[in-house]
Every structure is written in structure tokens, then in C-alpha cells.
Amino acid sequence: SGYFTFDPGFMATGSCESSITFIDGAKGVLLHRGYSIEDLARDADYIEVCYMLLHNKTPTSEEYADFKNTITRHTLVHDQLTNFFRGFRRDAHPMAMLCGTVGALSSFYHDDLDISDPEQRLRSAYRLVAKMPTLVAMCYKYNVGQPFVYPRNDLSYAENFLNMMFSVPAEDYEISPAVARAMDRIFTLHADHEQNASTSTVRLAGSSGANPYACIAAGVASLWGPAHGGANEACLNMLEEIGSVDRIPEFIARAKDKNDPFRLMGFGHRVYKNHDPRATVMRESCHEVLEEMNIDDPLLNVAMELEKIALNDPYFAEKKLFPNVDFYSGIILKAIGIPTNMFTCIFALARTVGWISHWHEMLSQPGQKIGRPRQLYTGETLRKYTPIKK
């Protein structure tokens, strides 16, 4: 009736019930369907995590093989979609292209517009998980002016993505197992994160009955911002701008200065007020990858020193600001050869399964209502209107 809670930024508002992901921000715990992110990052692959998020159980080997096969069979996008790409400027930001092209999938899969059927909803989910790597790789190929590469059914999810990104006609692209493993782990670590801004956006869009592709396009748009998924791109740009260890104190001072809008990118989180467990795994992965690839990246030294200085600074300790998942992922992606402006697309690709699992869960719940926050009106009270002619 007349009462509501005023909670800008939804600092304390529970918007839904969910059984997908659990976070204890004070303890640094992240569980998907009850399984710890550390266990999953070590022993499961992304496809298994996708299955768990969508089906609320770990797959048997047979279910795993079936699921993998289903995803593999849905990786192609209609050739007409290439026309859509060709309408973009060649230097368009890949997130701009991804937002448009994923939404455009709704014009191809008319059956998926019936969102009342749970089986049909799962089919849409499989299509999206399967086609996101294809679309993301197409964004990259379009930017660099190379022909699009077809998905390959003999490769794993991560290998197929790397192949669509980096193979060029008449030149063999050799997929390093270490790189494929690191890519798969980045996907796993970004798969879901309960009611963050983009997931809440997908849920809100879906609550009106919008189709799954339109909802995911809304999620991509929300993820783009530098306070959310755009932080991985912003973090690497920041590390490059810092450039050398001796310039770190200058940037730390800027981050602490309330008159300077600068923030340390890759630091802080709304929910984690201890460490971000994904960052711990990503940090280890980062060292492994650089070692296995024999890369000595000076940015890693800058990152490690920055982390050390910030963690010992009372400002960051008081405000409980720790490195988040985006702090290390950019260094790994850079080592793999992925350009900075593609980083947020990789996040979107990986998060699609989380978004669509939440969408499916929401529509499976009885009594689901359209999301409709209230507001605190601060405008004029009723005033007299004078027609312009007077």
C-alpha cells in the first residue's frame, strides 16, 4: 500500500528467492549449487558448471556427454547474422556488437519466444551458451578485419572459442592445452555471481515476459559499465597507465583522494568485505599461465606490488577493499593474446549461463510478478500550467 523501503543501489533489498549461488561476503565464500568455487575451478570444467547451474545437480558421465554434445550442436549462428555485423563500423566496440547481435538472435528462434514451457526455456539456454563464443569471436574477427571462423565440433568449449578467435585461413593455429585450461577456468570463475547488476537486469527484463535473447542483451548492456564487467578492461588500462612500480604511490594517493574520481580498478566489491575467492584462484592461475607460457610480463610485477601496497594501506583496510576477480583476469587474457577491448565480452560469454539460469529459475517460480521498484519523488508538487501561446 502506501509503505515502501527507500534503498538506493539495493544495498539491503532481497529481490528474489534463488537456489543457484550462495555468497558469504564476510567469509569470502562462493558456492554454486552448494559446491565451492575452489573445488569447481580445480576439478570441473566450464561445461560441467553450466550443467550444474542449469540443472541443480552434477551430471553423470552420460549426462555430461549428452549436454556437451547438445551445446556443440548449437554453436553455429545463421549466416544472415553476418549481414548484421557488416552494418557496424569496423572499429565498433565489441560489446556494442555483442549487445546488438545477441538481441538479434530473437529474430531467428521464434519457438523460443514461448517462455511458458520449461523445456523450451532450457533449449533457449543451450542455444545461448553455445552461440555466445561464436558471437564473441565474430566481434573480434570483425574488428581485426579477418574472415569469421566456423565453430568446430571436435574441440572442447574453450578450445573451440580460441580457434574461432585466432585461426586464420591458410595458417594452422595450435591450441596450447595450458591456454585452453586457463580460458576454461576464466569462464568457470565468471559463470555466476547471484544478484549482481547484470543478473538483476536480466531478471527485471525477464519479469515482464521479454524473450531470452532480449533479456541477455539487457544483461550485456548492464555488464558493460566499468563498475561491473567493464572493470577488467579498465584494470588493465590502469596497470598500463601506471606502467612501473615506482609510479604506484601516485595512483594509490589518487584513489584515496576524495576530490579525485579515480578508483583502483579491480579493487573492492559490494558483497565481499573479506577476500574475493575468485581472485585467489585467478591469482594462482595467472602465475601458472605466465610460467607455462614463459611470459615475463612487467604488468604482473606492477599488479603484485600494487596489491601489496594497497593491502597494507589503512585506507583500503578500513574500507575492506580487496582485489576482486577482475584484478588478475586481464593479465591472463593479455597473455593469451586477447586484446583489452574484448575482455568484457569474455566476461559476458561466461556469465550468460548464470544470467539464463536465473531467468529460467525466476520463470519456474509460482506467483512470479513483474519487477517494479518504487521511488522517492523529489520534483515539484502540483503547479499551474500556462499554455505556451499565453
DSSP 8-class letter at 389: T
Least separation, in Å, of the C-beta of 193 and ligand CMC?
Answer: 6
Least separation, in Å, of the C-beta of 185 and ligand CMC?
Answer: 16
Q: Is 269 a catalytic residue?
A: yes
**Using rule CB under 6 A, residue 231 touches ligand CMC:** yes
Q: What x/- string results for residues 264 through 293 when contact with ligand CMC is judged by CB under 6 A?
A: xxxxxxx-----------------------
Choosing from 184, 326, 358, 360, the catalytic residue is: 326
Instruction: Give the number of residues in contact with ligand CMC, rule: CB under 6 A.
Output: 20
Among the candidate windows 46-54, 117-125, 175-183, 225-233, which touches ligand CMC by CB under 6 A?
225-233
Q: Are 356 and 216 in contact (CB under 8 A)?
A: yes
* CA–CA separation, 257 and 262 (whole Å): 8
Among the candidate windows 42-50, 52-60, 260-268, 293-301, which touches ligand CMC by CB under 6 A?
260-268
Binding to ligand CMC (CB under 6 A) within 37-76 occurs at none
Q: Are 320 and 167 in contact (CB under 8 A)?
A: no
- Enter the C-alpha cell of residue 385: 500550467
Dihedral of the alpha carbons of 286, 289, 292, 298, in degrees to the nearest 10: -60
Q: Is 326 a catalytic residue?
A: yes
- Burial class for 157, CB neighbours closer than 10 Å (0-12, 13-18, 19+): buried
Bridge partners (DSSP) listed for residue 30: 23
Q: Are 305 and 323 in contact (CB under 8 A)?
A: no
DSSP 8-class letter at 267: B
Binding to ligand CMC (CB under 6 A) within 322-381 occurs at 324-326
* CA–CA separation, 140 and 385 (whole Å): 53
Among the candidate windows 56-64, 301-309, 318-326, 377-385, which touches ligand CMC by CB under 6 A?
318-326
- Enter the C-alpha cell of residue 9: 543501489
Choosing from 32, 190, 193, 269, the catalytic residue is: 269
Least separation, in Å, of the C-beta of 272 and ligand CMC?
Answer: 8
Report the candidate in 261, 213, 189, 202 with the shortest Cα–Cα distance to residue 78. Answer: 213
Out of 321, 333, 345, 348, name the contact with ligand CMC by CB under 6 A.
321
Q: What x/- string results for residues 162 through 201 when contact with ligand CMC is judged by CB under 6 A?
A: -------------------------------x--x-----
- Enter the C-alpha cell of residue 180: 585452453
Bridge partners (DSSP) listed for residue 29: 24
* CA–CA separation, 163 and 161 (whole Å): 5
Least separation, in Å, of the C-beta of 276 and ligand CMC?
Answer: 7
Least separation, in Å, of the C-beta of 72 and ligand CMC?
Answer: 29
Catalytic residues: 269, 326
Residues contributing to the site for ligand CMC (CB under 6 A): 193, 196, 227-229, 231, 255, 263-270, 319, 321, 324-326
